[in-house]
Amino acid sequence: MPNQTDRILLAADMAGTLVFAVEGALAGGGSLDLLGVMVLAFATALGGGIVRDVLAALRSWWYAAVAFAGGAIYILPCRTF
């Protein structure tokens, strides 16, 4: 069961996602149909968080090293060079 801090962080995260979704939908204004507004809202709300997470992962070389090690674990026994 999540503690109080986890609930507050989740609520803040969802509130921020909602605000960015509304801003993305407003950017589409009256020029887009329903699907266009929904795609723009989705991309705006979730795109920033995804980019932030990717950049955070690239700040440390450990993430890349572990990812390449995982690929090597798969490919080395399966292939002969």
What does the domain layout of the chain look like in residue ranges?
A: 4-78
29 in the Ramachandran plot: left (φ > 0), alpha (ψ -120 to 50) or beta?
left
Does position 13 have pLDDT exceeding 60, yes or no? yes
Give the pLDDT score at 38.
92
Cβ neighbour number for residue 54 with a 10 Å cutoff = 10
C-alpha to C-alpha distance for 59 and 57, rounded to whole angstroms? 6
pLDDT on residue 42 = 92
pLDDT band with cut points at 50, 70 and 90 for residue 30 = confident
16 pLDDT exceeds 80? yes
Mean pLDDT within 7-32:
87
For the chain, the farthest-separated pair of C-alpha atoms sits apart, in whole angstroms, at 58
Instruction: Read off φ and ψ for residue 32, nearest 5 degrees.
Output: -115, 155
Cβ-based neighbour number of residue 49 at 10 Å: 13
pLDDT in tens, 70-80: 888 888 776 66
